Amino acid sequence: MPFGAFSLQCSFSCIYCVYMNYEFQWDNDNLAHATRHSISAKEAEECFENEYLMFPKPLSVKRHGEQRFYLLGRSNGGKPVFIVFKWITKTCIRIITTRRMTTSEENKYGI
């Protein structure tokens, strides 16, 4: 785990982490997409400050030419958020898409 303050494996082949102090990269399309899903940039970024589950997105290198990750967490206000992102550098994260977690995802992952 290259960037985490701490991590441990869980039974879903994911990583439970707490990350802090990162920069975030957005573009207008990604911000508009998040807004359509009722997630603000601030809410998405807050998820990286709280406890969350993160795991590699299957087949992302083959499909997109880069490793992408899923993150399931909560905003400071408690909103359950699902994020797809990639690392730009060790301290910079590019959020690709975000939406509210489904009830099924909340139940399955316990977030």
Q: Summarize pLDDT for 27-44 with one digit per residue, the tens.
A: 899 999 999 999 999 999
What is the pLDDT, as a whole number, of residue 9? 39
What is the pLDDT, as a whole number, of residue 38? 94
Residues 6+ positions from 27 with CB-CB distance below 8 Å: none
> What's the pLDDT tens digit per position in 88-107?
988 899 999 999 999 999 99
Bridge partner list, 24: 93
Place of tokens 């905003």: 75
What is the pLDDT, as a whole number, of residue 20? 58
What is the overall mean pLDDT for the chain? 82
